[in-house]
Amino acid sequence: MAGALIPVYRFEKNFQLLKRKGTFVSFGNASGAVPPFSPLKLMEKNIKFARPAVFNYMITPEEGTYYSKLLFDVISKGVVKINIFHEYPFTAEGVQQAQAELPRGKSTGKLILKIGD
């Protein structure tokens, strides 16, 4: 399924859901590639479209340090909550079990491989 496009009806739904002056952020390709669309589509509600890549935000070590501190600050304050679905031991069996959870869509958070205590 590599290179598959997101079904157009699902992609179009995003434009319907966005408020006027909203921002459409497309991040990653887990659901497939973004289908081609006319930039005129953004004019209907004065929408901004962004396609960020995390590695372009953190090119220098200073940027990596800055954004890492910012992230851990909002996590420690509870602004961003991390949902941990399950922790697995760092063993062959634990890794296999974690990998088996992914394609089923059973997990609803992060899967952690725990190294040591």
Q: Is the pLDDT of residue 1 over 60?
A: no
Are 68 and 86 part of one and the same domain?
A: no
Tell me whether residue 30 is in a domain: yes
Tell me whether residue 3 is in a domain: no
DSSP state of 22: -
More confident residue, 31 or 109: 109
Looking at the structure of the chain, the number of domains it has is 3
Are 45 and 70 part of one and the same domain?
A: no
Contacts of 83 (CB under 8 A, 6+ apart): 108, 109, 110
Whole-prediction pTM:
0.52
Are 46 and 23 part of one and the same domain?
A: yes
Alpha helices in the chain (DSSP H): 8-17, 54-57, 61-76, 92-104
Are 73 and 104 part of one and the same domain?
A: no
Q: What is the pLDDT of residue 13?
A: 87
Mean pLDDT of 107-111: 81
Are 74 and 95 part of one and the same domain?
A: no
Q: What is the pLDDT of residues 63-99, one digit of tens each?
A: 989 989 999 999 999 998 888 888 999 999 999 998 8
| The residue type at 14 | N
Query: Which domain range does residue 40 map to?
Result: 8-50
